[in-house]
């Protein structure tokens, strides 16, 4: 028995020694190793400066702005890699020089030569859009909106998985997504977030009107008269002349839109049902998002279908040709009841003078928003 | 010598095991302190109806006592200066509390900040704002604040202040669709509302309670004054010259509200 016990002690002792060595070596390994996949580099967070007179910023959902995210989004915005044949980028239909619309084109053209059905919307001050994106509000967030053109047959005619395959097959983008979001392979979530971050930085707030509010040179007489007309209801019963623009285009601080959806009486017969296509509510037929009236000098043509080439045509419509029996015409168009507003020539000039004070030349030439592949 | 090595190895093994077993024991969980009781907030829950009937804004049609056939589209309120009155007639004021109610958007809650327990018999508030707030910088408010102009579209522009009450819709005129728009604004037309709370609000630290405020839109046209859209006017933007029309509506508005507690 003692011999057996001794043998067992020998084995146990050797085993113990080996086990201790293994444990110590393992602890040293785990303690020193940095797992790349669980410790991505910390991105550099950005705090946007709220422009004077603008409402407070609205926080993006789960998408804090970072330098890495914004730069990545900017590159993706200008990179045709998103489209099926890699010929078309977001910027193909959203030119910075045109306040990020498609200049002088009523409908944009996709990669297959398909013509779109709605006018390309200007892209600026998007952070304050809380009621949906696109003319018909079909995207609840910018993250959603950014991905829809990729899959639209009339636009990029691809799919998000296919676009991601191309992106994840590019070493540069793999590295950029890792730095921005800590992922080794981008998904639709990170793709949407990156573009959302870049779009959020597109802030237009340096027009002549903005500068006048900040204490800079004031508006001219004509411009001030235009502003007065802009902010006045037309009340012939009280001998008051007004253009009544502010109800839809002025009531959210200096955004020059309240981002609501309205039928403004363009058509008696509705060929495009607008918001109804998103909500299914009959009462939303013919309603479209009221766009901002900033940067109109760069963003013609106008309306959801680009039917008006000039501001004169727009004012002619609002002054004389509102279709009062259009289904769901908004109550705020009441002043267009007969005999309608009927702007005179001088009033039109005043209004145009004021609207031109909302053009932001800094915005359309800001290098931070321009094509990074050309720098 | 061999025996010593074996013994030492065995000893090391058991010491390592003992050490690891001590490591796996965390510190004792701290004793659970009872949560101290604190004052609680109270929610005001606004709902609308038309003479007791459900309103589906943009689709429901009603007939007023003046025989106007209407379809309400929008009904919105800006509220301030909340006051709760206790059974002993002492009051609790909420001077920096504001509310935005939009019935068609189903934005119907206003939160009163935490206050001490008590039994309350009456609630008062103003449809409107004090001058400094009304004409202050509309961009000062945070993103979720009721007076943020992205959240509500009640601001009338750089110098105009806020609309206090907005009621817009369609009505039939000579068989054709026409529109009505009533915008009650400017300081002279702010309206004070006082409502008894049916059943009283028993506000405690265990149960904050909710005040349910019902708004009968029929009263807008049929309160103290029977108001005809067709004959008295289908719109107002609160110009001084419209004082007669606005004050009729304000008198009606005062009787629109009822309150109960739950």
**Cβ–Cβ contact A56 with B under 8 A:** yes
* pLDDT of residue B21 exceeding 50: yes
A–B interface: beta-carbon pairs under 8 A: 120
**What pLDDT score was predicted for residue A33?**
47
**DSSP class of residue B162?**
B
* pLDDT of residue A140 exceeding 70: yes
B159: closest chain A residue by CA: A231
Contact across the interface for B149 and A55, Cβ inside 8 Å:
yes
> B203 φ, ψ to 5°?
-100, 115
Of A271, A311, A326, A279, whose CA–CA distance to A134 is shortest?
A279
Rg (CA), chain B: 30
CA–CA separation, A52 and A5 (whole Å)? 87
Model's pTM, two decimal places? 0.86
For the ranges A133-137, A184-188, A273-277, B25-29, the lowest mean pLDDT is seen at: B25-29
Q: How do strand B62-63 and strand B69-86 relate by DSSP bridges?
A: antiparallel
Set of chain A residues whose Cβ sits within 8 Å of the Cβ of B180: 331
- Residue A36, strand partner residues: none
Q: In this predicted model, what pLDDT tens digit does every residue of A205-246 receive, in sequence order?
A: 999 999 999 999 999 999 999 999 999 888 887 888 999 899
Q: Which two tokens stand for residue A249?
A: 């285009």
Those residues with Cβ within 8 angstroms of residue B119's Cβ, 6 or more apart along the chain or in another chain:
B86, B87, B200, B201, B202, B203
Task: Choose, out of B5, B7, B139, the residue to mutate when testing the contact with A (most A CBs < 10 Å).
Answer: B139
B72: closest chain A residue by CA: A331
Q: In this predicted model, what pLDDT tens digit does every residue of A279-315 receive, in sequence order?
A: 999 999 999 999 999 999 999 999 999 999 999 999 9
The interface pTM score, or ipTM, of the predicted complex is 0.82
* pLDDT of residue A69 exceeding 80: yes
Task: Choose, out of B19, B73, B147, B149, the residue to mutate when testing the contact with A (most A CBs < 10 Å).
Answer: B149
Set of chain A residues whose Cβ sits within 8 Å of the Cβ of B170: 331
Set of chain A residues whose Cβ sits within 8 Å of the Cβ of B168: 331-332
> Which tops the pLDDT comparison, A9 or B138?
B138
| pLDDT band, very low/low/confident/very high, at A61 (cuts 50, 70, 90) | confident
The CA-based angle A248-A147-A186, given to 5 degrees, is 140
**What pLDDT score was predicted for residue A36?**
43
| pLDDT band, very low/low/confident/very high, at B160 (cuts 50, 70, 90) | confident
**What pLDDT score was predicted for residue A37?**
47
Q: In this predicted model, what pLDDT tens digit does every residue of B56-85 receive, in sequence order?
A: 999 999 999 999 999 999 999 999 999 999
Q: In this predicted model, what pLDDT tens digit does every residue of A312-346 receive, in sequence order?
A: 999 999 999 999 889 899 998 876 666 788 899 99
- Nearest chain B Cα distance for residue A117, angstroms: 27
* pLDDT of residue B242 exceeding 80: yes
Mean pLDDT for chain A overall:
90
**What pLDDT score was predicted for residue A17?**
64
């Amino acid at each position: 028995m003692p011999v057996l016990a001794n043998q067992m002690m020998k084995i146990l002792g050797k085993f113990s020694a080996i086990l201790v060595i293994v444990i110590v070596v393992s602890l040293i390994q785990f303690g020193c190793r940095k797992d790349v996949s669980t410790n991505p580099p910390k991105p550099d967070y950005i705090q946007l400066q709220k422009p004077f007179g603008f409402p407070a910023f609205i926080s993006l959902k789960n998408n804090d702005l970072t330098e890495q995210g914004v730069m990545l989004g900017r590159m993706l915005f200008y990179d045709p890699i998103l489209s099926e044949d890699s010929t078309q980028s977001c910027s193909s239909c959203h030119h910075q020089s045109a306040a990020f619309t498609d200049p002088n084109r009523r409908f944009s053209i996709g990669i297959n030569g398909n013509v779109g059905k709605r006018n390309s919307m200007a892209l600026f001050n998007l952070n304050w859009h809380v009621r949906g994106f696109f003319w018909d509000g079909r995207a609840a967030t910018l993250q959603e909106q950014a991905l829809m053109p990729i899959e639209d047959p009339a636009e990029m005619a691809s799919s998000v998985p296919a676009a991601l395959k191309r992106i994840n097959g590019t070493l540069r983008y793999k590295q950029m997504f890792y730095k921005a979001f800590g992922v080794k392979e981008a998904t639709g979530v990170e793709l949407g977030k990156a573009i959302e971050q870049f779009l959020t930085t597109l802030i237009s707030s340096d027009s002549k009107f903005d500068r006048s509010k900040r204490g800079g040179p004031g508006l001219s007489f004509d411009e001030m008269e235009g502003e007065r007309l802009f902010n006045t209801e037309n009340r012939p019963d009280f001998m008051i002349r007004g253009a009544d623009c502010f109800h839809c285009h002025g009531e959210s601080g200096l955004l020059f839109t309240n981002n609501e959806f309205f039928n403004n009486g363009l058509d008696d017969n509705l060929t495009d049902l607008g918001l109804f296509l998103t909500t299914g509510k009959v009462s939303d037929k013919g309603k479209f998002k009221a766009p901002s009236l900033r940067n109109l000098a760069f963003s013609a043509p106008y309306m959801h279908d680009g039917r008006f080439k000039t501001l004169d045509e727009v004012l002619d419509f609002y002054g004389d040709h509102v279709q009062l029996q259009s289904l769901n015409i908004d109550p705020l168009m009441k002043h267009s009841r007969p005999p309608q507003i009927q702007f005179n020539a001088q009033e039109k000039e005043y209004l145009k003078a004021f609207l031109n004070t909302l053009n932001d030349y800094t915005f359309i030439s800001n290098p931070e928003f321009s094509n990074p592949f050309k720098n | 010598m061999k025996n010593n090595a074996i013994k030492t190895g065995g000893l090391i093994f058991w010491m390592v095991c003992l050490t690891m077993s001590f490591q796996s024991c965390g510190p004792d969980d701290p004793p659970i302190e009872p949560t101290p009781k604190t004052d609680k907030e109270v929610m005001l829950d606004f709902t609308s109806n038309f003479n007791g009937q459900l309103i589906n804004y943009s689709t429901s049609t009603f007939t007023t006592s003046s025989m106007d056939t209407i379809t309400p589209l929008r009904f919105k309120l800006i509220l301030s200066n909340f006051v709760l009155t206790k059974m002993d007639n002492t009051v609790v004021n909420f001077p920096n509390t504001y509310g935005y109610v939009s019935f068609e958007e189903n934005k119907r809650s206003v939160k009163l900040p935490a206050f001490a327990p008590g039994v309350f018999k009456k609630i008062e508030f103003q449809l409107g704002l004090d001058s400094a707030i009304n004409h202050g910088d509309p961009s000062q408010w945070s993103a979720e604040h009721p007076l943020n102009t992205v959240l509500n579209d009640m601001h009338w522009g750089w110098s105009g202040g806020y609309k206090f009450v907005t009621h817009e819709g369609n009505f039939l005129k000579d068989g054709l669709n026409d529109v009505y728009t009533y915008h009650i604004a400017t300081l002279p037309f702010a309206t004070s509302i006082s409502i008894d709370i049916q059943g009283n609000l028993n506000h405690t630290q265990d149960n904050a309670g909710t005040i349910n405020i019902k708004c009968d839109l029929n009263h807008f046209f049929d309160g103290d004054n029977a108001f005809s859209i067709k004959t008295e006017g289908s719109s107002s933007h609160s110009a001084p010259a419209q004082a007669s029309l606005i004050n009729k509506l304000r008198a009606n508005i005062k009787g629109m509200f009822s309150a109960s507690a739950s």
